[in-house]
Amino acid sequence: MTELDPVIHAQARLRVTATLAALEEGDRMSFPRLQELLDMTAGNLSTHLRKLEDAGYVVITKTHQRRTPVTYVELTRTGRRAFEDYTAALRALLDPTASEVGS
Amino acid sequence: MIDRRSTDLDEQPPSSPAEALAIVEREQARHAPDLAPFFVLWGLAWVAIGLAWFGSGSGLWSAAVAGIVTAVAVAGGMVVSAVLGSRIDRGVSGPSRTAGARLGVGWVVAMAATGAVAVGVVRLTEPGSAVVAALFPTLFVLVVGVIYMMTGALWRSRPDFGLGIALQVVAVATVFTPLPWNNLVMAVGGGGSLVVAGLLRRGRR
C-alpha cells in the first residue's frame, strides 16, 4: 500500500500545491492572487501555507513593489518533487498494473 | 464557529484517489492562459480591414474610409490586447512572466517593422499603385503565419503550427489573386483562420 504524503493529502493543501505546481519552475505567485484563485480566507490560506512551509514545500518571500509590501509564494524543488510523487502515487492506486508499486 | 468547521473540512483528505486527481486537474486547468480572445479579436480585425479595402477597391467607398477602418481596427486591437495581456498571469512573477512580456513586445515590434517596410515601399511607388494594393494584404498575413509556425513548433502546439502554415498559404494565395479580390482572400482566409483557431482553442478548454 502506497503512503500518500499527509502534508499534501488534505483538500486545502492539495489545491494550494496543485495551483503552485502549475506555475513554471522559478515562478512565484502573490498571496492575494493565490487567495483569489482558491477562494479561501486569508487566515485559512496562511494556516495551510505555514504547514507547507514547515514541511519545506513552499518558500514565502516578503518584498516591496513600488513601496507596497507584497508576499510571494513559491513551490520549492522539494515541494514540486513531493507533488509529483503524490500524483504518481494516486495514479498507481487507480491503476496498480501501470507501474511497479511496492505491496 | 463556521470558520472552524470549514478549516476542519479543508483538513479532510480527498474522498478517493480519483477525487484527488480531479482536484489537481481542476486547479491546474484554470492556469493555462486563455489566448482564444486574442485570436478571435485579431481575426475579426483582419476581416474588417480586408472588407474595408475590398469595398474601396470595388468603388463602394473611398480609400480614406478603408484607411480609417484599418486605423480603428489596429488601434482597438492593440488596446484590447494590452489589457488582455496584462491580465494573463496576474500576480505571478518570475522567468515565465519575463518571457511572456518579451513575447508581447515581440509581436508589437514585428508588426511595427512590417508596417515600416510597407511604408518604405509606398514611398517608392505612384499613388494608387497596384504593387502596394497587392503587397499590403499579403505582407502581414505572411509575417504572422511565420511567427505562428515557429512558436507552434517550439511549444509543440499542433494547432498553432497548422495555423501558421495555413496563413502562409493564404498569404501566397492573396498575392496571386487579382485586385481587389485579394483583400477578400485575406479577410476570409486570414481573418477566418484566426477566428476558427480561437474558437477551437475555446472549445478544447
Q: How far is CA A43 from CA A46, A64, B82, in A?
A: 5, 21, 34
Give per-residue pLDDT as tens, A14-41.
Answer: 999 999 999 988 999 999 999 999 999 9
pLDDT of A49 reads 96
Indicate the pTM of the whole model: 0.79
CB atoms within 10 A of CB B117: 13
Work out whether the CA dihedral B160, B103, B191, B114 comes out positive or negative.
negative
pLDDT at position B2 is 44
Residues 54-93 of A with CB under 8 A from B: 72, 74, 87, 90-91, 93
- How confident is the model over A51-99, as pLDDT tens digits? 999 999 999 999 888 888 999 999 999 999 999 999 999 999 888 776 5
Which pLDDT score, from 0 to 100, does residue B55 have?
96
Kindly tell me the sign of the dihedral angle through the C-alpha atoms of B102, B103, B104, B108. positive
Cβ atoms of B170 and B189 within 8 Å: the answer is yes
Q: Residue A101: pLDDT above 50?
A: no
pLDDT of residue A13: 95
pLDDT computed for residue B203 by the predictor: 78
Distance CA A21, CA A42 (A): 20
pLDDT category, A103, cuts 50, 70, 90? very low
When computed from its CA atoms, the radius of gyration of chain A, rounded to whole angstroms, is 15
Q: Coil, strand or helix: which one is B92?
A: strand
C-alpha cell at B53: 479595402
The residue among A10, A18, A20 whose CA lies nearest residue A72 is: A20
Which residues in chain A have Cβ-Cβ distances shorter than 8 Å to B12? 10-11
Q: How far apart are CA B189 and CA B183, in angstroms?
A: 10
Q: How many CB pairs under 8 A join A and B?
A: 92
For CA atoms B18, B9, B90, A66, give the dihedral sign: negative
Q: What is the pLDDT along chain B (205 residues), one digit of tens a residue?
A: 444 445 566 788 888 889 999 999 998 887 777 889 999 999 999 999 999 999 999 999 999 999 999 999 999 999 999 898 888 878 888 998 888 889 889 999 999 999 999 999 999 998 878 999 999 999 999 999 999 999 999 989 999 999 999 999 999 999 999 999 999 999 999 999 999 999 998 877 6
Which residues from A are below 8 Å from B2, CB to CB? none
How far is the alpha carbon of B69 from chain A, nearest alpha carbon, in Å? 38
Distance from CA of B43 to the nearest CA of A (A): 29
Of B3, B7, B91, the CB nearest to A33: B91
Close Cβ partners of A7 (under 8 Å, ≥ 6 residues apart): A13, A51, A52, A55, A57, A82
In this predicted structure, what is the pLDDT of residue B193?
A: 96
SS (H, E, C) chain A: CCCCCCCCCCHHHHHHHHHHHCCCCCCEEEHHHHHHHHCCCHHHHHHHHHHHHHCCCEEEEEEEECCEEEEEEEECHHHHHHHHHHHHHHHHHHCHHHCCCCC
